[in-house]
Amino acid sequence: MIRLIAFVGFLLSGCAGIYPINIHYEDSPVPPAPDYSQSASWASHPDKKDAADSLPLSSRLVDGQKEARADVFFIYPTIFVGKPNNEYQWNASVSDSKLNEKIQAITILNQASIFNGACKVYVPYYRQAHLYTFYTHNSSDSLKALNLAYEDIRNAFQYYLDHFNHGRPIVIASHSQGSYHAVRLLREFFDGKELQKQLVMAYLIGKAIPTDYFQKIKPTEGPEELGTWASWNTFAHGFYPGNYKRYYTKALSTNPLLWNSGESLATREMNKGGAGPGFTILPNLTDAQNHDHLLWIHKPYVKGRIFIRKKVWHRADMNLFYLNIRENVALRVDTFFKGDVSSKP
């Protein structure tokens, strides 16, 4: 029972009630823009010590960033929830030390670290939009907050291209709000553009994205395909969210245990391990099956699972399949360097 409480508590940590912002975007001060020539503006960077360098406890995994032949540009999800720590309401300040500590402890540790085995990890701090942005009925406020956040992502990526990339293969990875910005980034910089030749893979997780969203970048249908993209949204088996018809009916769902959009059940034995409380690996944590544009799972196999009532597993979209994603990144990077031009975009 203790393990169950720890596991569910771990997944719910940082999730609070939706704090309402009671002023319009124009009436709230805008945080200063980050300067990506400064190390402090990067949540993760190969030349600094950060949570993306971490490895799950008691695992035999290796941080391979020093020798990595590819890069990952990772965009983290919404951590700016609850009452702001300062005067900035709609967008977070990249100088908010308390918020940055949460970003490191929650998403950089549990998500960005997935990629350190095969990629140098680059994660910019950005003026992320507040969680309320996704719930307000004022579309103008919402759009302005998201546009400001994307402005930072775009500037960070351009700085990365100009100063760090040097023609290396690129993985784009993101979750939730991060995926809202990642799809814009892919359209602007990669889709049908010269840079698409450097794209290893795009992991656009936790956002409902139509299968035909990109013109030239296709959904992945195999674990070694290059220049493709994957996305999934995780729910309990048999559950349809209330906004299903409005939001999910055209979305791609990629099974992260099979790396295709088919509806075959991948048993939990195919799950190499998820990241659990205390940043430990839980082998064979859950199964996975695509159904009606959703990714369905049965209750995670932890002691006391009979008491789990959770239906929405959005927060754990990546944690549940930590090792499978990690191995898939390495496989695609290796495939990129095999020189098989027939598999490249």
pLDDT tens column, 9-50: 445 443 446 899 999 999 999 999 999 999 999 999 999 999
Q: Torsion-angle region of residue 268: left (phi > 0), alpha (psi -120 to 50) or beta? A: alpha
Ranges of residues in the chain with a pLDDT under 50 are 1-6, 9-10, 12-16, 340-345
Given this model, what pLDDT does residue 277 score?
87
Dist. CA 39–CA 23, nearest whole Å: 33
Q: What percent of the chain has pLDDT over 70?
A: 93
Query: Which residues are CB-contacts of 206 (< 8 A; sequence separation ≥ 6)?
Result: 77, 174, 175, 176, 178, 179, 231, 232, 233, 314, 317, 318
Answer yes or no: are the C-beta atoms of 147 and 30 closer than 8 Å: no
Greatest extent of the chain over all pairs of C-alpha atoms, in Å: 55
pTM: 0.94
User: pLDDT tens, 89-102?
Assistant: 999 999 999 999 99
Given this model, what pLDDT does residue 18 score?
85
Residue among 217, 117, 227, 214 nearest 171 (CA): 227
Dist. CA 89–CA 23, nearest whole Å: 8
Residue among 80, 119, 115 nearest 101 (CA): 80
Give pairs for 243-248: CB < 8 Å, separation 24+. Answer: 244/292, 244/294, 247/208, 248/208, 248/292, 248/293, 248/294
Q: Torsion-angle region of residue 26: left (phi > 0), alpha (psi -120 to 50) or beta? A: alpha
Given this model, what pLDDT does residue 303 score?
85
Q: For the sheet containing 289-291, what is the strand order?
A: 234-236, 294-297, 289-291
Q: Please state, rounded to an integer, the average pLDDT across all residues of the chain.
A: 94
Dist. CA 133–CA 144, nearest whole Å: 9
Answer yes or no: are the C-beta atoms of 74 and 122 closer than 8 Å: yes
Given this model, what pLDDT does residue 260 score?
98
Q: Give the CA-trace dihedral at 146, 148, 153, 159, to 10 degrees.
A: 170
Given this model, what pLDDT does residue 11 score?
52
Answer yes or no: are the C-beta atoms of 151 and 36 closer than 8 Å: no
How far lies 167's CA from each of 34, 69, 294, 335, 338, in Å?
25, 11, 36, 17, 17
Given this model, what pLDDT does residue 344 score?
43
Q: Give the CA-trace dihedral at 117, 122, 128, 131, to 10 degrees.
A: 0
